[in-house]
Amino acid sequence: MTISAVQSGLARVQAAMARGHARVTGSALGPHQTAVVRIGFSFTWLLFLVREWPHRRELYGPDGPWNWDMARRLIDGNHAFTALMWSDSGLWFETVYALALVSALLLLLGWRTRTMSVLFMLGVLSLQNRSIFLGDGGDNLIHLMSIYLVLTRCGQVWSLDARRAARRPDDGPKPPRDTTGIVLWSVLGLALAWVQLFSDAGLSLIADGPLPGLGWATVLWGLWLVQGGWWLARRHAPGEPRTVLDMLANLAHNGALVVIMGEVCLLYASAGWYKVQGSRWQDGTALYYPLHLDYFSPWPSLADALASSGTLVMLLTYGTVIVQVAFPFTLLNRRAKNVMLVLLMLEHIGIAVALGLPFFSLAAIAADAVFLPTAFLLWTGRKATRARDRLAASAVRLPKQRAVEDDEEPAPTLTG
């Protein structure tokens, strides 16, 4: 091999690295995929909170068997974050639950997604860590994804933020003042200062946080300062400082997107390989047993019909294992990946219907959506937009038609 060949190879490697660096730092990849993940998980959590509204005090509040003192002792041991431990007041519990509902709804709509993603995370952690024995696999997914969504730019499309940005004039020397954002940032800063100084929250700067040596006080104050710094750079330093912050935000987004995809692959790989080791999965009868548990049989007649066919039970059991084990490897081939995505989503729909686990299935489907092809998402978005426009047009036209009909002279009848 000659020196020129080596130099040519090194040049190609350097060019590829430069292109990769420009792509990773120059844009937030997968905007539609992250938007679907945002919509899916916020919708799942919102639906769960609404569904459990009549039982909220028994599940997470003062009327539950896992009372405040027991939860306090557990939190003192595992140092998990939950705002519900800041006070044992019933009013405080209702406030936190209501804020969790509102933040999930606003994140679903994409209003102030940077702020709402943080509040959404705090709501999820506060309720789930208050009563950790109530969760299942779907709750674990929501728990993890709520943290990852904070680092993503998940409001670039299909959000109120995106619509506001599209309507914003770009010909001025400065962006609009954004009074709503300033007020929201100030109120949250005052609330965080009050919690830090005058409550029993005990937020530490260097301990008991999401990472070793990083406390929740550092995380929350850091996110608050980043929001303020972003506004200042965008309004008063639109040149290089804005470019650098944009690159850092893109880097954080793309890193979080890789982590989300890795989390989904790890979920299916670990679930599939653990199933392979089970004797009931090996002999093809694993699905038979949950179908005969009252807790997992919302439709007894459907469960009996499925369990009555040994061949169907065997095919579904083996098919579940094969799909879960094979999915991470199919990412190397786009067509195979899309087929596996369809099978996985059908599997979760079957779990929701046959086993009565709708929230687990919704969370899993929302996580799977990160791998959906962009062309399919764009096609779905166009269809949804057309349907929305038709509904809006019919809503405007019908009142006018009624007014015209009221003004018209009634037609004569046989009786005059």
Q: Calculate the alpha carbon distances from 332 to 47, 62, 249, 329, 338 in Å.
A: 35, 50, 28, 6, 11
Alpha helices in 278-309 (DSSP H): 279-282, 300-307
- Say which amino acid occupies 273: W
274 found inside a domain: yes
Instruction: Indicate whether 367 belongs to any domain.
Output: yes
pLDDT score recorded for residue 415: 34
**Residues forming beta bridges with residue 410, ordered by sequence position:** none
Distance CA 268, CA 343 (A): 13
**Residue 241 lies inside a defined structural domain of this protein:** no
265 lies in some domain: yes
Dmax (CA) for the chain in angstroms is 106
> What is the residue type of 349?
I
The single residue listed with the structure tokens 């943290």 is 147
Tokens 């294992």, residue located: 321
Q: Is position 260 within any domain?
A: yes
Q: Does 76 fall in a domain?
A: no
Token pair 């019909």 is found at: 305
Report residue 399 as tokens. Answer: 């009142």
Structural domain for 331, as ranges: 254-373
pLDDT of residue 400: 54
The residue written with tokens 């993603």 in the block is: 117
Rg (C-alpha) for the chain, rounded Å, is 26
Phi-psi domain of 135 (left: phi exceeds 0; alpha: psi -120 through 50; beta: other):
beta
From CA 336, how far away is CA 332, in angstroms rounded? 8
Q: Which two tokens stand for residue 191?
A: 């609330």
Does residue 341 belong to any structural domain of this protein? yes
Can you give the pTM of this predicted structure? 0.91
Q: What 8-state DSSP symbol labels residue 412?
A: P
The whole-angstrom distance between residue 55's C-alpha and the CA centroid of its chain comes to 24
First to last CA, the chain: 105
Please name which of 116, 119, 146 lies closest in space to residue 44, comparing C-alpha atoms.
Answer: 146
Asked if 154 and 33 touch (Cβ cutoff 8 Å), the reply is no
Residue 367, both tokens: 């996580």
Confidence (pLDDT) at 7: 75
The answer to whether residues 109 and 96 touch, using CB atoms and an 8 Å cutoff, is: no
Instruction: Give me 184's structure tokens.
Output: 């929201």
Check: CB of residue 130 under 8 Å from CB of residue 85: yes
Is residue 91 within 8 A of residue 204, CB to CB? The reply is: no
Quote the distance between the C-alpha of residue 380 and its chain's center.
19
| Strands annotated E in 57-175 | none
Contacts of 191 (CB under 8 A, 6+ apart): none
Please give the structure tokens belonging to residue 93: 């519990």
> From the centroid of its chain, how far is CA 168?
27
> Looking at residue 238, what is its pLDDT?
77
Judge contact between 138 and 361, C-beta under 8 A: yes
pLDDT of 416 reads 38
Q: How far is CA 362 from the centre of its chain?
A: 11
Q: CA-to-CA distance for 96 and 85, rounded, in angstroms?
A: 11
Number of domains composing the chain: 1
Q: What is the mean pLDDT, run by run of 10 residues, along the chain of 416 residues? A: 75 82 88 97 97 94 90 91 92 96 97 96 96 88 96 95 83 72 95 89 85 91 94 83 90 96 95 92 92 87 91 95 95 94 96 93 96 95 89 71 51 40
Looking at residue 174, its pLDDT comes to 67
Task: Residue 311: count other Cβ atoms within 10 Å of its Cβ.
Answer: 8
| 335 within some domain | yes
